[in-house]
Chain A
Amino acid sequence: EADIYQTPRYLVIGTGKKITLECSQTMGHDKMYWYQQDPGMELHLIHYSYGVNSTEKGDLSSESTVSRIRTEHFPLTLESARPSHTSQYLCASSGAGRAEAFFGQGTRLTVV
């Protein structure tokens, strides 16, 4: 069982609000990722991090930002939520020497 947690699982929020999606892992993994996925559609990598103080943009442009101040924590922030941000956001991590990445349960965000 993977020790990677995302909160909240579901979030409905009004347009213009600032939100932070939390992602934590207790496996000591250096690499962490954020993906965005609409129902029935592809997983799009939006951010990743190689370790503390490292963040990179992924393949899909996103208005969100991320930070990596601690190894175990990789929060994603939207300064001003819009209906176009409605989607599922998935966090993942992978460790040195491991073949697989582990995914959290996801946060389903709805902006009204």
Chain B
Amino acid sequence: LAKTTQPISMDSYEGQEVNITCSHNNIATNDYITWYQQFPSQGPRFIIQGYKTKVTNEVASLFIPADRKSSTLSLPRVSLSDTAVYYCLVGDRKAAGNKLTFGGGTRVLVKP
């Protein structure tokens, strides 16, 4: 599995856009990039998955450059309820194909 590196923490304010970059220099050709969100005392929740260029859903956007050695999760106009830990995972597109190993994640604190 490709190793991922994310910032340990980020602070932001309500209404701002938050961008979290994940480095995955050893990503394999068949690997996808998946992001999860975890609130305190809860299990992680799937946010978004992508392979290249840009993916957008109702929650976030995922930007992946051509070399795929990094990716950026973008949370538009965050609110206090977006305070959580965000995990970047790299592996098989289908979760069932992975061991599903989580790293340390990025702790995002949204301030009023």
Contact with B102, one of A43, A95, A99, A106 (Cβ below 8 angstroms): A43
Q: A88-B41, A94-B95, A96-B94 are in contact. Are A101 and B101 (CB under 8 A)?
A: no
- Complex: A95 Cα to B93 Cα, angstroms: 12
How many pairs of A and B residues are in contact by the CB < 8 Å rule? 68
**B104 lies within 8 A of chain A by Cβ:** yes
- Nearest CB in chain B: distance from A48 CB, A: 6
Task: Report the interface size for chain B: residues with CB under 8 A from the other chain.
Answer: 22
Among A35, A45, A100, residue most surrounded by chain B Cβ atoms (within 10 Å): A100
Task: Report the interface size for chain A: residues with CB under 8 A from the other chain.
Answer: 29
B95 touches A101 (CB 8 A): yes
Q: CB within 8 Å of B: which of A55-112?
A: 58-59, 88, 90-92, 94-106, 108
**B112 lies within 8 A of chain A by Cβ:** no
Q: A88-B41, A105-B43 are in contact. Are A99 and B99 (CB under 8 A)?
A: no
- Which of B17-25, B44-52, B74-82 interfaces with chain A? B44-52
